[in-house]
A and B are shown apart, each in its own frame.
Chain A
Amino acid sequence: MHQGETLLTVRDLRVEFPARGGVTALRGVSLALQGGRTLGIAGESGSGKTTAGLAAMGLLPPGTRVTGSIRLGERELVGLPEKEYRRVRGRQVAMIFQETSTALNPVLKVGDQLRMATRAHFPGSKDDVRARIVAALESVRLTDHTRVLRSYPHELSGGMCQRIVIAMALSCGSRVLLADEPTTALDVSVQEEILALLRTVVAERQLALMLISHDLAFLADLCDDLVVMYKGQIVEAGSAQSVISSPAHPYTRALLECIPSLHSRRGTLPELREYEAPSAQGCGYRHRCPWRADPCLEAPALAAVAASAERSARCWRSAEVLRQSVTESESVV
């Protein structure tokens, strides 16, 4: 498999919100985004997956304490002054969100919005800017440029709006794209289109895509690598294929059981009580974990899972969990 260059590296990222009573959203997250590859981040609400994206964009609310390292090529983004960060956003890293039709300004023509964003990074002649925008629209398979550029967002469908936002990121020059639930607000059929589009754009332009979702099935479809987050920590990481087929962390197993299937009863994840400070000691998941045992009173580290060096999990019993998963998947076959 072709290994693209590493575009964005996150190391031991910690995010705290002192204004919200010292809530810690991320507790030491490390990951890497590579050109031409898609990294999926899975986890329930409050697991810190969106915070990770916003942190990379430098868009966390003022007063947030961010430590650790986010490197974009040679450049350190943590602590970068807002003025310089402004030039990084859009130009090198862009983020798209769940909202589709409201993600574009309702009172401005699509063309004006694309032009405004593109000119912020490429202050060229009118024709140059237009050429960039048209190329970006081609990339997202919007071929009817003239009409699209002259439209207002409310005249376009949600799927088209999401394509335009992606095109905006491309025409600004971003090679790292962070997508936070980019298809949740769309019809199922349109979801498929956008997914297919993301897949081709990543391949064509050698983008590094970070796909954030709560939906493992959705991530399984598109991602090369997968990271599962729980309470601000990565609990399992590995290639998407292997994590999904044989999870090594009880939480990943629970998430997979939540995926509705035609043949078996769907499992339900125990309710998470409202924000509960992760206890200093012990595994954060142990209160909901069917595998809990004595060692769980001490926090496990993210460690390589026995089977392969490429996979890691934050669980004392990951080897047992993996074995169970493998047996189950074999018995199904």
Chain B
Amino acid sequence: MSDITRADVAHLARLARLAVTDDELDVFSGQLDAILDTVGRVSDIPDDVPPTTHVAPLTNVLRPDEPAPSLTREAALAGAPEAEEGRFRVPRILGESQ
């Protein structure tokens, strides 16, 4: 049995970058709890069953290292909420890259 609390939902929402509201914490904790109770049934499956990650019987699908056309810069930036100096403009970044 799962037991998803408001704090768990808040944690998941933070990981997933969702600024959930206080009301949503209540609604989602109940719903996620119910869903996890249903899907948790897979825990019956024995550990020695191998996982299936891909269903198509394919291996070694590779592309030759040959250049293909890129987008024009205009096309690349066309959907940007904001652009400046040929670059995507974004709000200030906190913290360094990983």
Decide if A and B are genuine partners.
no
Interface on B for A, CB 8 Å cutoff? none
